[in-house]
Amino acid sequence: MTDNTDATPSQDENRLIAERREKLQARRDASDNPFPNDFERDSTAAELQARYGDYSKEELAELNMKVAVAGRLMLDRKPFSVIQDMSGRIQIYSTKEVQKEIKDWDVGDIVGVKGTLSKSGKGDLYVVMEEYQLLTKSLRPLPEKHKGLVDPEQRYRRRYVDLIMNEDTRSTFKVRSKVINHVRHYLTSRDFIEAETPMLQVIPGGAAARPFVTHHNALDIDMFLRVAPELYLKRLVVGGFEKVFEINRNFRNEGLSTRHNPEFTMLEFYQAYADYNHLMELTENLLREVTESVFGEAHFSNGVRGENGEIVDHVTYDFSGPFRRLSVMEAILEHNPELTEGQLSDPEQAAKAASALGINVKDGWGLGRIQTEIFEETAEHRLTQPTFITRYPTEVSPLARRCDDDPSVTERFELFVGGREIANGFSELNDAEDQAQRFREQAEEKAAGDDEAMFYDEDYITALEYGLPPTAGEGIGIDRLLMLLTDSPSIRDVILFPAMRPEKG
């Protein structure tokens, strides 16, 4: 068997594929239905292990339990072979007579087996093959067991093979499903209404990001894949849905990295008559419960990777709460003790300080943008334990409500864990005239060449003019949260089918 990790099949692999095609053709010639669909499974591997794993061989013999299992043939070491289903693996046992009848079976084939459940001398459950069917012939050989599918690029491109071969991969995506289900239950149990908002939008809004552009032929207009559902969800709050959320796919036409994929999953939720302090408390509770659901406790450890990706240390994250809270200004001063609040409060001095830190200050940046860049370059990556960073400058928060005690900053927070942004939330701006002015400023920045600046959304302003109650909203990056919970170094590890450059040829 060859190691099928290359994009182009080897000579040995092509030979094996040809042999398997010959076996399939022989089945076609001998049967009208080489892909039968009448096998009825009554048990999975995990179910049998849970029910009968503690039985002795003698107890199982006395029970004489007949079962029907099905799955992919993973190991073929007759008389004992191993099949794998969604829940796990179980052995099947074949006599010499049976082996003669299944000599055209290959590792990778999908088979169904009915027979008596028994246990080996080593304590492993197995099914004696009494009735058996080849359900699907696998024409391509699986990678060798001792190598697996190890090339990361091929794992992402051929996720179906990765899922077959790697238990860690299957575990990661089971955790993903569990987390999303828990998040949905957490919100719906607190009277949040789940909504669906447009993915195709005439005006993309809700985030500072470059959108994908497409064209609607019937309407003869350009449209955009959404960068965020925020403005539509807040329209729903205007309409009276006072607690609303969406687990959504967003699309941003930006670069690829270990933390960025052009298509990604976000949770966004909005609550009327609440502010950003309420959402920080909700977030602490939600993430504590999610962590406990995955690990059984509110603590978990991840590896610390060196320059070559090898694990050189471990860090334990504590989600039991309460999380630490710092303003942007406090975080900068904590990690840059040579700076003073006076320097950071003066545009000219702040620009000089940023330049001294190696930050390229661009024309048109105001004081708030400079402060934010200093924070992102010098403090963000040092926030290991869960930390809320609050009071972001108004200049970089076009949708957030200004702080009553200082209009230059907003009632906004971002949550960082392990140096990564996990969530972004704020008290919503519900002043239609203030929002209109900020949209105009964003439009000016877009006209000046900023592809990520927001459009002016006139209909959203109209919605605000009908009246948005005091509201707080938040977005949590599901993919980044999963990276943290599964100790995955790349966002591609937690997305089933990440964006990839097409293979040559």
CATH number at residue 87: 2.40.50.140
- Predicted local distance difference test score (pLDDT) of residue 306: 83
Helices 276-295 and 478-485 pack at an angle, to 10 degrees, of 40
Contact 211, 227 (CB under 8 A): yes
Structural domain includes residue 370: no
Verify that 277 and 149 share a domain, yes or no.
no
107 and 52 fall within a common domain:
yes
Q: Both 143 and 290 in a single domain?
A: no
In the DSSP assignment, the letter for residue 10 is P
Question: Do 17 and 151 reside in the same domain of the chain?
Answer: yes
Instruction: State which residues form the domain around 412.
Output: 178-315+397-493
Residue 6 within any structural domain of the chain: no
pLDDT at 293: 94
**Which tokens belong to 464?**
């605000």
Task: Tell me whether residue 356 is in a domain.
Answer: no
pLDDT at 384 exceeding the cut of 50 = yes
pLDDT score recorded for residue 272:
98
Asked if the structure places residue 148 within a domain, the reply is yes
In this structure, are 463 and 433 located in the same domain? Answer: yes
Give the pLDDT of residue 310.
Answer: 83
- pLDDT category at 505 given cuts 50, 70, 90 is low
Of 139, 163, 187, at which residue does a domain stop? Answer: 163
Task: Mark which of 104, 134, 163 sits at the end of a domain.
Answer: 163
Q: Considering 115, 131, 163, which residue would you say is the last residue of a domain?
A: 163
Give pLDDT, residue 9: 66
| Res 10: pLDDT | 75
User: What is the token pair recorded at 15?
Assistant: 């030979």
Measured CA to CA, the distance from residue 247 to residue 267 in angstroms comes to 4
CATH code: domain of residue 418: 3.30.930.10
Report DSSP state, residue 323: P
Q: How many other C-beta atoms can be found within 10 angstroms of the C-beta atom of residue 111?
A: 22
Same structural domain, 37 and 130: yes
Contact (CB, 8 A) for 441 and 447: no
Using one digit for the tens of pLDDT, what is the confidence trace for 91-131? 999 999 999 999 999 999 999 999 999 999 899 999 999 99
Q: Give domain status of residue 320, yes or no.
A: no
Residue 126: what pLDDT? 98
Q: Do 142 and 219 fall within a single domain?
A: no
Distance CA 376, CA 373 (A): 5
Taking only the tens place, the pLDDT of each residue in 96-106 is: 999 999 999 99
Which residues are part of a known binding site?
A: 414, 421
- 159 and 223 within one domain: no
Distance CA 450, CA 210 (A): 9
The secondary structure of the chain in percent helix, strand, coil, rounded to multiples of 5, reads 35, 25, 40
Position 329 in a domain: no
Mark whether 52 and 118 lie in a shared domain: yes
Cα-Cα-Cα-Cα dihedral sign, residues 133, 135, 140, 143: negative
Burial 117-134 (b: 16+ CB within 10 A, else e): bbbeeeeebbbbbeebeb
Q: What mean pLDDT comes out for the span 51-67? A: 95
Number of domains in the chain: 2
Pairing of strands 263-272, 200-201: unpaired
| Prediction pTM value | 0.90
Domain shared by 436 and 288, yes or no: yes
List, as residue ranges, the binding site for Mg(2+).
414, 421
> Does 249 reside within a domain?
yes
* pLDDT score of 4: 43
The chain-wide mean pLDDT, for the chain, equals 93
Q: Is residue 338 part of a domain?
A: no
194 and 79 belong to one structural domain: no
In tens, the pLDDT along 256-275 reads 898 899 999 999 999 999 99
The set of residues, in sequence order, having a beta carbon less than 8 Å from that of 20 and lying 6+ positions away, is 106, 137, 138, 139, 140, 141
- Of 322, 417, 326, nearest to 375 by C-alpha is 326
Same domain, 81 and 220: no
